[in-house]
Amino acid sequence: MGPLSGVRVVEFAGLGPGPFCGMLLADLGADVVRIDRRGGGGGLGATSLLDRGKRSIALDLKDPADVEVVRALVRRADVLLEGFRPGVMERLGLGPDELLGENPALVYGRMTGWGQTGPLAPTAGHDIGYIALTGALGASGRPDERPAPPINLLGDFGGGGVFLALGAVAALLHARATGEGQVVDAAIVDGTAVLTTMIHGMLSTGGWQDERGVNLLDTGAPFYDVYRCADGQFLAVGALEPQFYAALLQGLGVAGDETFPDRYQPEQWPALRERFTELFAGRTRDEWWQVFAGTDACVAPVWSLVEATQDEHNREREVFVEVDGTVQPAVAPRFSVTPGAVGSVPRAGQHSDEIRAELGL
């Protein structure tokens, strides 16, 4: 049933990080009831995998009777998740003051891009803007090229949904120990900034330059980069430590070559990158993977999303599973005693009657 079995969550349907947080909780066993708009779809639509494992009730939040249904749901809930702009829930009469007054142990989770306060709080935004403001986007990419957004994984899901889930569980532990609920203000700018903590530490000690593509982990180092192979596909190389770098040279067939550029001299990095580029271009991606698979060279093929589902390691570990005919990522992390499970995606309003019955309505 998952480690969160017995936890009741009320989630207001939305896009991206809020539903992702609800999915994480549902994957781990929480009973997540999604409030969909009556007469409309939920979240990203009926096929959104972010809604897997949830139940759905369709309501009209402009209807006082339906607002009372929400209140009834929240009175018996442990966690509430909402992703509206600041002030919207208050105007609906569903703000934290009202709901915590009725359920003092409630964890009131708020998912926004800019946060509940600050000059940008009332304005619209998307992942690309949030990671831009935190410096994370500016640090991503190669020198003299435009910054490369990593889809919307870094801000929406990493800095947003995951941090809201962490905050909700932490606040739930506090509430169960003390009976005291609270508001969790999960802003994507906050979470994304936390993800850059190590880089800020390196900046402060001179171990990182405030420039894109010239550092150890941003493709500045030729032994931590992506290379094109003979078939136009790519390999990822991350041979940072000396022993892993030695395994890389062994696989490339240049171990002991005294003419090979020295990795410890940054002025030789351009020449080293040129040699690597030439060598990797000599074979296909799959041929190189046959050379490096199972070694400590820290080389991996750059799979497409579909190819990743077919990878031998991913298949053996069941990193991806098929549920209701759709291949999708499995539950993470894994638990030895209370494993989570991937549930089905509900239709908007699918469980309305069932949930109303549970509430005695």
Task: Supply the CATH number for residue 143's domain.
Answer: 3.40.50.10540
Residue 158 shares a structural domain with residue 246:
no
CB 106 within 8 A of CB 74: yes
pLDDT classification of 47: cutoffs 50, 70, 90: low
Specify if 326 maps to a domain.
no
- Same domain assignment for residues 33 and 116: yes
344 in the same domain as 267: no
Q: Rounded CA gap, 22 and 287, in Å?
A: 41
Are 72 and 168 in a shared domain?
yes
The structural domain count of the chain equals 2
251-308: per-residue pLDDT in tens?
999 999 999 999 999 999 999 999 999 999 999 999 999 999 999 999 999 999 999 9
44 has a pLDDT exceeding 70: no
Q: Is the same domain home to 263 and 352?
A: no
Residue 204 is assigned to a structural domain of this protein: no
For residues 118-145, average pLDDT = 96
**Catalytic residue check, 174:** no
Over pLDDT 90: what percentage of the chain? 95
Per-residue pLDDT at 43: 46
The per-residue pLDDT for 336 is 97
Do 102 and 175 belong to one domain? yes
pLDDT of residue 221: 96
| Sign of CA pseudo-dihedral 276, 277, 278, 281 | positive
Contact at 8 Å (CB) between 245 and 239?
Answer: yes
* Domain identity same for 163 and 14: yes
Q: What is the pLDDT of residues 246-258, one digit of tens each?
A: 999 999 999 999 9
Helix (H) or strand (E) holding 23: helix 17-27
For residue 42, pLDDT over 50 is answered with no
Judge if 116 and 233 occupy the same domain: no
Pull the structure tokens for residue 120.
């940008």
Q: What is the pLDDT of residue 117?
A: 96
The arithmetic mean of pLDDT across residues 128-152, rounded, is 95
For residue 226, what pLDDT is reported?
A: 98
Distance (Å, rounded) from C-alpha 130 to C-alpha 151? Answer: 13
Model pLDDT, residue 1: 82
- CATH number, domain with residue 299: 3.30.1540.10
Say if CB 276 and CB 219 are below 8 A apart. no
Q: How confident is the model at residue 39 (pLDDT cuts 50, 70, 90)?
A: confident
Domain assignment of residue 316, yes or no: no
* 46 has pLDDT over 50: no
Active-site pick, 126, 185, 296, 311:
126
The identity of residue 164, as a single letter, is: L
The catalytic residue among 51, 78, 127, 156 is 156
Residue 229's domain spans which residues? 224-304
Say if 317 falls within a structural domain. no
Nearest to 263 by CA among 271, 252, 255: 271
Q: 45 falls in which pLDDT band (50, 70, 90)?
A: very low
| Average pLDDT estimate for 99-118 | 97
267: Cβ contacts below 8 Å, ≥ 6 apart: none
Residue 74: closest CA among 86, 62, 87, 92: 92
- Shared domain for 182 and 247, answered yes or no, is no
Residues 181 and 66 in one domain: yes
User: Do 26 and 147 lie in a common domain?
Assistant: yes
| pLDDT at residue 86 tops 50 | yes
**pLDDT over 90 at 24, yes or no:** yes
- Would the pLDDT of 14 be above 70? yes
Q: Averaged over 58-87, what is the pLDDT?
A: 96
Tokens in use for 260? 């090979």
pLDDT(26) > 60: yes
129 plus 256 within the same structural domain = no
Instruction: Locate all alpha helices (DSSP H) within 105-212, ordered by sequence.
Output: 127-133, 162-178, 188-195, 197-204
* More confident: 157 or 42: 157
Residue 65 has pLDDT above 50, yes or no: yes
Non-local (6+) Cβ contacts of 193 within 8 A are 134, 135, 136, 159
pLDDT at 41: 52
